[in-house]
């Protein structure tokens, strides 16, 4: 990584509350638990709306959709609760990265809170108005569709944030959420995520509707257990198969920084579990009705292994991608600590380092961020200023206390309400600086 073009802040030099490794484990494990319930919530909501559509023609599917809505709100609550842990741990462990990403997507990031609240309320209304709106299906479907649309939008905000967090070199390029949204890795990851929602939810529904205690016979007219099993296996199989295309897309749109043989090994292992899962599901779909279902537990075990490998791979990549930047940041933090210690020592021992003239000091502290001798920075060059205010330092003082808008293409200069003595000194210093014969002064010093 070429760090020259990348903003490298220094870290917040506070001790971590617990060991790094523990925080990392918390992030990986709780995030997996969180994302499973997010998958179930979003997948469930999508299934409910799609099945309700099919239910317009086939009653059983309307029943199926309605039954599914009972699971959505429970899964939603678990998803939210389990999301708090990793969010806090990320804040502690990746403070600078997470904070920067959040700040760069600003309003959109914070809008997650009202968006999610609205989506949840809509989904409750969707669930509880099933009977009341039985004759107004279009309205009811629109309600469900709207809830799903919001829930699908929220991960896009997260994914653009994650992309920003991982790649500090992009902090200077993006202009808000919409430009972050088009970072190359965002949409492939979104696809990967949505397919995971479908696959995970399908297996969950399979277990839910074919479990021993569930009264399939009384609930449905035509659908029976083998039908349901085949339906959900079919969906899970299709979504997982598509993952084999979406997965590599995610991997190849990641910046090379952070890719490693170890990462490929981890992801490859996950993919191998997924292929084994596909084989077993295929077997289940083709197998005669009576014997089907006995591979369900191994399939779920393989799903858990796949998810764990992918979740761990996600962490390995993040650590790899941020490594150079973090080292640079550690260096900065150390420099800062040395500088602070040195300043303290000087203060304690009454050693003054700054015997600079007042004007030079004020210039360095206040004006130098925008004005340079020969170059246009944020403001005009000192040469230009000196020409305008030849022998008139008081003119500079007046301007500095109350600047007006003058040049097009420049921002407004802020007013500096400092003691006249200081401003007078800095004005003289500026004029001196631009005067031809003077030597030994430089605005950079």
Residues that bind ligand HEC (CB under 6 A): 366-367, 369-371, 378-380, 385, 388, 396, 399-400, 405-407, 410-414, 416, 426
Q: Name the nearest CA neighbour of 320 among 273, 265, 373.
A: 265
User: CB-wise, 298 or 411, nearer to ligand HEC?
Assistant: 411
Question: Residue 176: left (phi > 0), alpha (psi -120 to 50), or beta?
Answer: left
How far apart (Å, rounded) are the C-alpha atoms in residues 164 and 422? 42
Q: How far apart are CA 96 and CA 165, in angstroms?
A: 9
Least Å distance between CB 418 and ligand HEC? Answer: 7
Q: Classify 258 in phi/psi space as left (phi over 0), alpha (psi -120 to 50) or beta.
A: left
Give 16 or 412: the residue with its C-beta nearer to ligand HEC.
412
Cα separation of 5 and 131, whole Å?
Answer: 60
The answer to whether 258 and 313 are in contact (CB under 8 A) is: no
**Structure token digits, residue 426:** 């800095």
Q: How far is CA 274 from the centre of its chain?
A: 26
Closer residue to ligand HEC in complex, CB, 331/378: 378
Nearer to ligand HEC, 144 or 379 (CB): 379
Nearer Cβ to ligand HEC (152/366): 366
CB of 408 to ligand HEC, least distance (A): 8
**Closest distance to ligand HEC from the beta carbon of 441 (Å):** 15
| Min CB(419)–ligand HEC separation in Å | 11
CB 315 within 8 A of CB 31: no
Q: How far is the CB of 258 from ligand HEC (least distance, A)?
A: 36
Select 76 or 371, whichever has its Cβ closest to ligand HEC: 371
CB of 381 to ligand HEC, least distance (A): 10
Nearest residue to 72 (alpha-carbon basis) of 96, 53, 45, 33: 45
The smaller minimum CB distance to ligand HEC, of residues 219 and 383, is found at: 383
Q: Angle at Cα 428 formed by Cα 426 and Cα 352, nearest 5°?
A: 50
- Alpha-carbon distances, residue 436 vs 96, 180, 405 (angstroms): 45, 48, 29
What is the nearest approach in angstroms of ligand HEC to the Cβ of residue 442?
A: 16
Q: Which CB, 266 or 430, lies closer to ligand HEC?
A: 430
Q: How far is the CB of 404 from ligand HEC (least distance, A)?
A: 7
- ∠ CA 342-344-348, nearest 5°, is 120
CB of 399 to ligand HEC, least distance (A): 5
Of the pair 293, 395, the CB lying nearest ligand HEC is at 395
In Å, the largest CA–CA distance within the chain is: 101
């Amino acid at each position: 990584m070429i760090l020259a073009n990348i903003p490298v802040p220094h870290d917040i030099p506070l001790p971590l509350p617990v060991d790094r490794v523990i925080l990392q484990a918390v992030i990986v494990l709780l995030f997996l638990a969180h994302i499973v319930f997010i998958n179930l919530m979003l997948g469930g909501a999508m299934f409910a709306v799609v099945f309700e559509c099919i239910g317009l023609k086939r009653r059983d599917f309307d029943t199926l959709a309605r039954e599914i809505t009972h699971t959505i709100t429970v899964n939603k609550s678990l998803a939210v609760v389990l999301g708090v842990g990793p969010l806090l741990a990320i804040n502690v462990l990746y403070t600078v990265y997470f904070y920067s990403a959040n700040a760069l997507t600003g309003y959109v990031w914070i809008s997650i809170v009202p968006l999610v609240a609205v989506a949840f309320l809509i989904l409750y209304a969707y669930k509880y108005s099933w009977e009341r709106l039985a004759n107004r299906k279009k309205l009811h479907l629109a309600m469900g569709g709207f809830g799903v649309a919001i829930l699908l939008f929220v991960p896009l905000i997260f994914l653009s944030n994650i992309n920003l967090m991982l790649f500090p070199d992009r902090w200077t390029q993006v202009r808000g959420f919409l430009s972050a949204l088009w970072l190359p890795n965002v949409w492939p990851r979104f696809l990967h995520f949505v397919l995971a929602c479908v696959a995970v939810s399908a297996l969950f529904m399979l277990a839910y509707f074919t479990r021993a205690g569930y009264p399939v016979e009384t609930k449905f007219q035509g659908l029976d257990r083998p039908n349901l099993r085949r339906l959900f296996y079919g969906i899970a199989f299709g979504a997982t198969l598509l993952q084999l295309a979406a997965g590599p897309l995610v991997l190849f749109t990641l910046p090379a920084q952070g890719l490693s043989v170890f990462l490929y090994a981890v992801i490859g292992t996950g993919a191998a579990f997924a292929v084994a899962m596909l084989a077993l599901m295929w077997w289940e779909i083709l197998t005669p009705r009576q014997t089907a279902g006995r591979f369900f537990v191994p399939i779920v075990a393989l799903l858990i292994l796949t998810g764990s490998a992918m979740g761990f791979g996600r962490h390995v990549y993040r650590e790899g991608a941020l490594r150079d930047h973090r080292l640079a940041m550690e260096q900065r933090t150390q420099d800062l600590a040395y500088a602070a210690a040195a300043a303290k020592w000087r203060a304690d021992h009454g050693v003054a380092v700054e015997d600079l003239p007042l004007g030079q000091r004020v210039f360095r502290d206040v004006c130098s961020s925008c004005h340079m001798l020969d170059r246009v920075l944020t403001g005009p060059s000192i040469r230009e200023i000196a020409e305008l205010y030849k022998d008139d330092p008081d003119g500079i003082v007046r301007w500095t206390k109350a600047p007006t808008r003058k040049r097009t293409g420049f921002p407004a200069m802020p007013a500096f309400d400092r003691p006249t003595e200081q401003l007078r000194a800095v004005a003289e210093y500026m004029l001196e600086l631009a005067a031809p014969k003077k030597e030994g002064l430089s605005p950079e010093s």
